[in-house]
């Protein structure tokens, strides 16, 4: 008998991640879920629950094409929801950044989503479905030491906003997720320590480390984030932007109503850069 459930494919579903929590939530709501990850073996627990699993590296053309061909075969060429969730982070001052790391970051966070839409887009059109892009609040406000990560997410948002206009004639909705801190492997492993040797920002790193780890401690449980996000995505008319995660509403307010100059002052004080300015003044 043909499977009549609505279908959803999610990228980056390793245990301990947002993707994994999304899989469980969509599955619980009765959708047919295609859970994907670079390493198929990490999806064993999901496969044991009867969930379809596929290997998929969003930074690799062949891998994305092979996954698209398999989903086309399994669903008869329709996909109701595509969630571009896979991503990575990078924390470093601009002066200390390794540009090849930044390129790898963009390959996953931005070009990966582009590649997915190129290969899966016609299946989403066939279902008059939805494309969901997991961005970050870091893409909406100045965030020192997260500039490359924030830039990749700001680019994803901008691309998503244009994609929404291109997809509207086909009845496809596009949702940008402005996600705040959520407790996942990414957050648990996000330590900046004392920074790169010889950094001009060495005196600031203890503050950066503290702000990062305090943010991690307050991060929203992934299941809570997934429940709210899936509810928003499954609405007949989904929001164009959905803000969720610790402090996401506050960042929405700041990025919507507070002038850029004031935002810069807040950011500078939060990350200890105003103190660095004072130190440098004293030395001069």
End-to-end distance of the chain based on CA atoms, in angstroms? 77
Torsion of CA 101, 105, 107, 109, to 10 degrees: 180
The active-site residue out of 6, 90, 149, 201 is 149
d(CA 4, CA 92): 47
Least distance between ligand NAP and beta carbon 204 (Å): 22
Least distance between ligand NAP and beta carbon 278 (Å): 31
Size of the chain in residues: 284
Only segment of 115-123, 160-168, 184-192, 231-239 that touches ligand NAP (CB under 6 A):
184-192
Q: Which of 14, 53, 147, 229 binds ligand NAP (CB under 6 A)?
A: 14
Q: Which of 17, 91, 140, 173 binds ligand NAP (CB under 6 A)?
A: 17
Q: Which of 85, 91, 140, 212 binds ligand NAP (CB under 6 A)?
A: 85
Residue 191 has a CB neighbour count (10 Å cut-off) of 10
* 147 touches ligand NAP (CB under 6 A): no
**Closest C-alpha among 64, 84, 245, 249 to residue 160:** 84
217 belongs to the catalytic site: no
Q: Which residues between 105 and 124 bind ligand NAP (CB under 6 A)?
A: 108, 112
Only segment of 32-40, 90-98, 163-171, 255-263 that touches ligand NAP (CB under 6 A):
32-40
Least distance between ligand NAP and beta carbon 57 (Å): 4
| Interaction mask 209-248, ligand NAP, x per CB under 6 A | ----------x-------------------------x---
Torsion of CA 18, 64, 97, 20, to 10 degrees: 10
The active-site residue out of 6, 153, 201, 244 is 153
149 belongs to the catalytic site: yes
Concatenated DSSP letters for 65-133? HHHHHHHHHHHTS--SEEEE---------GGG--HHHHHHHHIIIIIHHHHHHHHHHHHHHHTT-EEEE
Cβ within 8 Å of residue 58, ≥6 positions away:
11, 12, 64, 84, 86, 108, 112, 113, 115, 116
Only segment of 157-165, 179-187, 233-241, 267-275 that touches ligand NAP (CB under 6 A):
179-187
Q: Which of 35, 163, 187, 233 binds ligand NAP (CB under 6 A)?
A: 187
List of residues contacting ligand NAP (CB under 6 A): 11-14, 16-19, 37-39, 56-59, 85-88, 108, 112, 134, 136, 179, 181-182, 184-187, 219, 245
Catalytic site positions: 149, 153
């Amino acid at each position: 008998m043909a499977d009549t459930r609505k279908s959803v494919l999610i990228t980056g579903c390793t245990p301990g991640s947002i993707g994994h929590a999304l899989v469980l939530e969509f599955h619980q709501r009765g959708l047919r879920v295609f859970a994907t990850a670079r390493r198929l073996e990490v999806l064993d627990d999901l496969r044991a629950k009867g969930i379809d699993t596929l290997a998929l590296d969003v930074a690799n053309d062949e891998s994305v094409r092979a996954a698209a061909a398999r989903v086309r075969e399994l669903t008869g060429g329709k996909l109701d929801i595509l969630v571009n969730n896979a991503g990575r982070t990078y924390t470093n001052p601009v002066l200390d950044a390794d540009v090849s790391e930044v390129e790898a970051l963009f390959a996953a966070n931005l070009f990966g989503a582009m590649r997915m839409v190129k290969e899966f887009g016609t299946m989403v059109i066939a279902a008059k479905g939805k494309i969901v892009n997991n961005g970050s609040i870091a893409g909406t406000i100045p965030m020192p030491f997260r500039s490359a990560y924030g830039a990749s997410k700001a680019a994803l948002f901008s691309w998503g906003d244009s994609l929404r206009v291109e997809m509207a004639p086909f009845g496809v909705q596009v949702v940008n997720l402005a996600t705040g801190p959520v407790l996942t492997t990414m957050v648990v492993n996000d330590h900046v320590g004392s920074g790169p040797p010889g950094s001009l920002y060495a005196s600031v790193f203890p503050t950066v480390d503290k702000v990062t780890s305090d943010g991690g401690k307050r991060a929203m449980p992934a299941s809570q984030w997934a429940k709210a996000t899936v509810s928003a995505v499954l609405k007949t008319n989904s929001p164009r932007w959905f803000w969720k995660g610790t402090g996401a509403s506050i960042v929405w307010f700041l990025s919507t109503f507070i002038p850029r100059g004031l935002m810069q002052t807040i950011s500078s004080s939060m990350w200890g850069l105003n103190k660095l300015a004072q130190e440098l003044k004293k030395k001069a």
